[in-house]
Amino acid sequence: MRKVNQKAWFFVLPVLILVAFNALVPMMTVVNYSVQETFGNNQFFWHGLGWFQDILRSERFHAALGRQFLFTFLILIIEVPLGVIIALSMPRKGFWVPVCLVTMALPMLIPWNVVGAMWNIFTLPDIGLLGYFMNHVLGIDYNMTRSPLAAWVTIITMDVWHWTSLVVLLCYAGLVSIPDAYYQAAKIDGASNWAVFRYIQLPKMKQVLTIAVLLRFMDSFNIYTEPFVLTGGGPGNSTTLLSIDLVKIALGQFDLGPAAAMSLIYFAITLFVSWLFYTLMTRHDVK
Amino acid sequence: MRLLTFLLTLMPLAATAQTAGWGNLGQTEDKGFSWTAPLWPSFWMAWTPATLLVFIGIFTAMGILTVLEIRRPGGDERQGVLGLTTTRGDRLFITLLGTSYIFMAWLGLIGMPLWWPLAISIGWGVFCFWKV
């Protein structure tokens, strides 16, 4: 057996300590909170797994979870194909490459809360560009503070605007890594555009698409700031996604126990779906 | 006046009684060790012996895996019945994740005594390390 020098692992140590303090310690604290009740003053009373039972059976949680899955499903089904299409239609060489790349990267440079605020102003019915256009030019009753449908359309559009670029950039990176020889071979064989996409481009993009889908799943499943700034979960509870509901319970009602239980359930769902995606999308590579 | 002097003489008595333990009336007695009592009451992480034990268990399992990996590198990779290629670490992960889902499903659908999901979870863990 070849002897491998494992000392390089010590370089990982700083990031391990960092992760311990910003993820592991809070996580353990959440586990502790989830089985106890507190009335503040740092005093805790044992409650067992009762909070988990309450949350798992609560209508409010089911509703928020349903909205969350709907949101994530909708943005994935829009952003991934759209991102692939945009990446395919971008130039591979020449002057327009940096122009396209920078334009694509721009939305991702904007902080989440600013995106929320921008879209809030953009869609205001009387002064916002989109809101005014919809209401006063097209005559469509569009008011995201009043109609749940308009609110949903707005948060989906906002997320697509903000994050499709991520899928585009990742797919583009996958596309430019394909050697020209593949395309030449396809041309000689007289392959159609679809065949080129299906048998050359898509397999080459698979790795990056896996990463893109995983990142978009996790980010959208944990999304908080943008919808919070844009709609605040309203109108009513129609856009109260899981994280918004969680913050309402934890900080609004100061129910630390139920909030901790809910965040652990939330975490288990994210973990499972991410694991499933990753396993399903990489299992054929191993063989 | 006589009543007042009487009450005044009582005051040191009341103070003595207070220090002797009457002031603890209605508070829970210290019963010694409890799995569910706060471990370090003034510390913000709110540890209890029970939750501490859970994490000690997980970290011990990871430690054992590390030792095994050093002794026999390669992670004992194999293809199991689910069609997944798993190492020891994967099997531990699947066991723990599955356990959390078994408990959540039982809590949500059936309810409190949790002996059955515990038994199912142990079975699931054995299955994972044996077949998956």
Asked whether residue A267 is domain-assigned, the answer is: yes
Please report where in the chains the tokens 């409650």 appear, as a residue: A47
The helix (H) or strand (E) run that includes residue A8 is none
- What is the least distance, in Å, from the CA of B34 to any CA of chain A? 11
Q: Is the pLDDT score of A78 beyond 90?
A: yes
- Is B50 in Cβ contact with A35 (below 8 Å)? yes
Angle at A199 between CA A197 and CA A204, to 5 degrees: 80
- What is the least distance, in Å, from the CA of B97 to any CA of chain A? 7
Give A-chain residues touching B42 at CB under 8 angstroms.
Answer: 42
Asked whether residue A282 is domain-assigned, the answer is: yes
Three-class DSSP category at B86: strand
Max Cα distance, chain B (Å): 94
Residue from A170, A2, A78, A85 nearest B73 by CA: A2
Give B-chain residues touching A6 at CB under 8 angstroms.
Answer: none
| Closest alpha carbon within chain B to A26 | B45
Of A50-64, A111-125, B17-31, B57-71, the poorest mean pLDDT is in B17-31
CA B76/CA B70 separation, integer angstroms: 12
Q: What is the pLDDT of residue B4?
A: 64
Tens of pLDDT, residue by residue over B113-130, are 888 989 999 999 898 888
Asked whether residue A225 is domain-assigned, the answer is: yes
Asked whether residue A6 is domain-assigned, the answer is: no
Q: Is the pLDDT score of A224 beyond 60?
A: yes
Asked whether residue A47 is domain-assigned, the answer is: no
Asked whether residue A20 is domain-assigned, the answer is: no
**pLDDT band at residue A164, thresholds of 50, 70 and 90?**
very high
Three-class DSSP category at A36: strand
Q: What is the pLDDT of residue A168?
A: 92
CA distances from A75 to A72, A267, B118 (A): 5, 20, 38
Give B-chain residues touching A259 at CB under 8 angstroms.
Answer: none
B22 class by beta-carbon count within 10 Å (0-12 exposed, 13-18 middle, 19+ buried): exposed
Q: Is the pLDDT score of A286 beyond 60?
A: no
Asked whether residue B27 is domain-assigned, the answer is: no
Q: What is the pLDDT of residue A79?
A: 92
Find the CATH number of the domain harbouring A119: 1.10.3720.10
Asked whether residue A63 is domain-assigned, the answer is: yes
Q: Is the pLDDT score of A287 beyond 50?
A: no
Cis peptide before A235 (omega within 30 of 0): yes
**pLDDT band at residue B5, thresholds of 50, 70 and 90?**
low
CA A63/CA A248 separation, integer angstroms: 15
Tens of pLDDT, residue by residue over B15-43, are 666 666 556 656 655 667 777 788 887 78
A-contacting residues of B 10-29, CB under 8 Å? Answer: none
CA A262/CA A244 separation, integer angstroms: 12
Expressed as residue numbers, the domain containing B52 is 47-132
Any chain B CB within 8 A of the CB of A145? Answer: no
Single-letter residue type at A13: L
CA B92/CA A19 separation, integer angstroms: 21
- Is A29 in Cβ contact with B46 (below 8 Å)? yes
Of the ranges A179-188, A275-284, B27-36, B56-65, the best mean pLDDT one:
B56-65
Of A202-211, A245-254, B32-41, B64-73, the poorest mean pLDDT is in B32-41
- For all residues of chain A together, what is the average pLDDT? 87
Any chain B CB within 8 A of the CB of A43? Answer: yes
Three-class DSSP category at A75: helix
How many domains are contained in chain B?
1
- What is the least distance, in Å, from the CA of A46 to any CA of chain B? 6
Three-class DSSP category at B85: strand
Any chain A CB within 8 A of the CB of B82? Answer: no
Expressed as residue numbers, the domain containing A264 is 52-286
Classify residue A37 by its DSSP letter: E
Tens of pLDDT, residue by residue over B79-118, are 878 778 888 888 899 999 999 999 999 988 888 888 898 9
Asked whether residue B1 is domain-assigned, the answer is: no
Q: Is the pLDDT score of B66 beyond 50?
A: yes
Tens of pLDDT, residue by residue over A176-222, are 888 888 888 888 888 888 888 888 888 888 888 888 888 898 889 88
Asked whether residue A130 is domain-assigned, the answer is: yes
Q: Is the pLDDT score of A253 beyond 90?
A: no
Give B-chain residues touching A271 at CB under 8 angstroms.
Answer: 97
**pLDDT band at residue A67, thresholds of 50, 70 and 90?**
very high
How many domains are contained in chain A?
1
Tens of pLDDT, residue by residue over A87-135, are 888 888 888 888 888 988 898 898 888 998 999 888 888 888 888 888 8
Asked whether residue B60 is domain-assigned, the answer is: yes
Question: Which of the two residues, B29 and B65, has the higher pLDDT score?
Answer: B65
Please report where in the chains the tokens 């920078």 appear, as a residue: A102
Any chain B CB within 8 A of the CB of A282? Answer: no
Q: Which residues contact B80 (CB under 8 A, 6 or more apart)?
A: B86, B131, B132
Question: B85 - beta bridge partners?
Answer: B79
Any chain B CB within 8 A of the CB of A26? Answer: no
Main-chain dihedrals φ then ψ at residue A240, nearest 5 degrees: -75, 95
